[in-house]
Amino acid sequence: MGPLLLGLVLPRMALDAPPRRGLDLCLGLLCAVLLPGLGGAWLARFMMRDRFMGSDLGEYCGIVANFGQPPPEGAQRSELAAAVPGLLAQHVGVIDGLAWGALLSAGAAGLGLYLWGRAVAGPVAGVLSVLFALSWEPTVAMTRTLSLYPELAGGFTLAGGLVAYALRDRGALPSALAGAGAALCFVVDLRGLMWGLPLLGLALLIAAFAPAGPWRLARVAARLAVVLALLWGSYRLGERVYAEKSVSLERLTLHHGRLSEMHIDADQLITSRYVWGHTDVREIPETLSVLARGTPFMRRAVGGKNHEALSIEQRALWVTPWLPLWAGAAALTLAGLALGADRRWRALALIGVGLPFAVALEGAVTIQFSFARQLALGFALPALCLGVGFVSLQALVGRLPIPRLPIPARIAPVLPGLGAVLVAVGLVLGGLPSWLGPNAPWRAPMGGSDARVDELVTATHDAAAGRTPTMWLDERGWACVNALVIEERAGGDVGGRLWR
């Protein structure tokens, strides 16, 4: 009802406003504060039972505790993804380092999501996309997740936003930032290949479309050289952030146990080994072929009798209730592309950048049991559709030839956007009763990982007292406990102070 009423009484909203770098930077930074601030400090109190979310806490704690050391053989995560929590842990402790890393990563995601929404349908759409992202539990949980998934979501979303914005503002600086965003995907995580390839293609396209003017061919060549140089730097950085014998993307994606359930020989199926910085880039097509052949088996395993109940339960929590709303928002988003100018570039920003996020969401649902941490990797796409769909409906209704409120010309340009933002804030924060509010009766609080934190604290107390911890610990777990013992002896709060 909100966009309908706003469209009926207020002036028409423009969806094709040209980029304004100063304004967009200010609004982007505001959204970088809004997403972690409202999500972590306020909405999490309604949507979560515990302070923290997370899984494999001992592993991630150990990664952060060992940050700065060469990655071990068999590592599954990039050292770059651990950089923010690893550096913070040296000052605030390991658990709080992970917690603050999640907040800062959510801020990067907020900035990227704003830039993406702004590129598709204007600055109001960017702000609304960030606000509506906070109505989905996996997004809120991301702000309090003790793992490296927030860093992945933040990196991929920021990269997508930089590329999308550059599709609208095709200047030299946005072109270089688009190349940097694409290059970032490859070194944040091995799964970044799925984001990096399409974003790299778009970054090269942006570089090739330099604005008309003198020496245009030379400027195109220079812009292409910058993008390729950033890609080369990313490849060389991959040599440092991934161990040569890291778990490959194929082994990380095509789980050996689930393939065995389908009576598939993983060694025979997986004929390539992708580790960015260590693998010849000419082998990437074979990697994509292996993933394409193996993914159907993974879907069938998740849908089989051993996992079907868990898969259905998780989908019912985070996905199924949202499907009608997402479908309607997506239809309105596509309709909004027909309004205004620069339609081709706006459509490319929506579809080209949205493709890897759609693939991530589909994989999270059909392969990864719809766990919140997996869904968070693709959170930006449904949030974008909600934000752009809202302003698209408002703009479509605003085109109806009916009388509207007399608005002074001085405030007429900003009033439609201000009204949309105020309505969205009311819907998301619960000021206006709605299905999206944090206290909506259909919602159930999410479980958490405070018990795992308590187990680590107990293991730390035992180790500090010379007793053998009752908690099972692998190599990474012992690295975590040893770091926490040092913290405890220095007078630190090994369970973390944040959100107490």
Q: Judge contact between 175 and 136, C-beta under 8 A.
A: no
Segments of 123-254 assigned E as strands: none
Q: Judge contact between 113 and 161, C-beta under 8 A.
A: yes
CA separation for the pair 477, 499 (Å, rounded): 24
- What six digits make up the tokens of 355? 């493709």
Q: What is the pLDDT of residue 449?
A: 81
**Percentages (nearest 5) of helix, strand, coil residues in the chain:** 70, 0, 30
Q: What is the pLDDT of residue 307?
A: 58
Higher pLDDT, 300 or 92: 92
Q: What is the pLDDT of residue 425?
A: 94
pLDDT above 90 covers what percent of the chain?
57
CB contact set of 453 (below 8 Å; sequence gap of 6+): 51, 52, 57, 95, 146, 495, 496
Handedness of CA 247, 248, 251, 253 (dihedral sign): positive
Q: Please determine, for residue 306, whether its predicted confidence score (pLDDT) is greater than 60.
A: no
In tens, the pLDDT along 227-248 reads 999 999 999 999 999 988 888 9
Band (76; pLDDT cuts 50, 70, 90): confident
CA separation for the pair 245, 270 (Å, rounded): 16
CA separation for the pair 373, 198 (Å, rounded): 23
Q: What is the pLDDT of residue 8?
A: 45
Handedness of CA 112, 114, 120, 122 (dihedral sign): negative
Band (377; pLDDT cuts 50, 70, 90): very high
Q: Please determine, for residue 493, whether its predicted confidence score (pLDDT) is greater than 70.
A: yes
Residue 93: name the closest of 500, 452, 496, 498 by CA: 496
Q: Judge contact between 487 and 494, C-beta under 8 A.
A: yes
Q: What is the pLDDT of residue 474?
A: 82
Helix, strand or coil, per DSSP, at residue 53: strand
Q: What is the pLDDT of residue 450?
A: 86
In tens, the pLDDT along 309-326 reads 666 777 888 899 999 999
Residue owning tokens 């309505």: 423
36: amino acid identity, one letter: P
Bridge-partner residues for 145, per DSSP? 53
195: amino acid identity, one letter: W
Helix, strand or coil, per DSSP, at residue 204: helix
Side-chain half-sphere exposure of 413, counting CA atoms within 13 A: 4
Higher pLDDT, 84 or 473: 84
CA separation for the pair 126, 107 (Å, rounded): 14
In tens, the pLDDT along 281-298 reads 999 999 999 999 988 888
Poorest-pLDDT segment among 168-182, 286-300, 310-324, 350-364: 310-324
Q: What string of DSSP letters covers 409-467?
A: TTTTTTHHHHHHHHHHHHHHHTSS--TTSTT-TT---B---HHHHHHHHHHHHHHHTTP
Q: What is the pLDDT of residue 308?
A: 60
Band (416; pLDDT cuts 50, 70, 90): confident
> What predicted TM-score, i.e. pTM, was given to this entire model?
0.94
Map 383-400 to HEC letters: HHHHHHHHHHHHHHHHCC
Q: Please determine, for residue 86, whether its predicted confidence score (pLDDT) is greater than 70.
A: yes
Band (128; pLDDT cuts 50, 70, 90): very high
- Largest Cα–Cα separation, the chain: 79
C-beta atoms surrounding 481 within 10 Å? 26
* Section 382-391 average pLDDT: 96
Helix, strand or coil, per DSSP, at residue 310: helix
Q: Residue 83, exposed/middle/buried by CB under 10 A (0-12, 13-18, 19+)? A: middle
Q: Please determine, for residue 30, whether its predicted confidence score (pLDDT) is greater than 80.
A: yes
Residue 477: name the closest of 460, 494, 499, 454 by CA: 460
